[in-house]
Structure 1
């Protein structure tokens, strides 16, 4: 079975996810966050750069936990609900 190509919106959401995680990382090195989360450094780099626009749920959960970012806040940021305007999926 072939996976359908990602939509423009899905790729853009992946870029936003990467930017949010990179911003939350702050001054910590990617290696430090990778070690704290149990996610490989290469996977973290790919997610932060948007090359993996749809990472696995447990990968995102591990990164959010290591960064001290609640999942609901991350979801709000990605869907646009943090400012009261929901994006369409």
Structure 2
């Protein structure tokens, strides 16, 4: 299966998501948060660094739950200014 290349906007949204997750994680370890969300630390690392800019909904929801973020906060933080 050939994957359609991501747009610059999708990449930027992924970077914003990663930054928000890193900030919410604070001093807690990546391993601790990933385990609590049922993910590998490598998956969390890829999301936080923008190497996985379009993670699955349930992955994002699990991380949000562990980090105490609402899905509304994620949408507001990751929506690009001027995006419809």
- TM-score using structure 2 length: 0.93
Aligned counterparts of 2:14 and 2:82: Cα–Cα separation in 1: 14
Corresponding residue number in structure 2 for 1:83: none
Matches within 5 A, 1:4-83: 4-79=4-79
Equivalent residue in structure 1 for 2:83, among 67, 70, 88 = 88
Q: Which has the higher contact order (CA 8 A, sep 6+)?
A: 2
Give unpaired runs (5+ residues) of structure 2. none
Give the alignment's Cα RMSD to 1 decimal: 1.2
CA distance in 2, matches of 1:2, 1:27: 38
Following TM superposition, the consecutive aligned residue runs of length 4 or more in structure 1 with deviations greater than 4 angstroms are none
User: How many residues in Structure 1 have an aligned counterpart in Structure 2?
Assistant: 84
Instruction: Give TM-score scaled by structure 1 length.
Output: 0.88
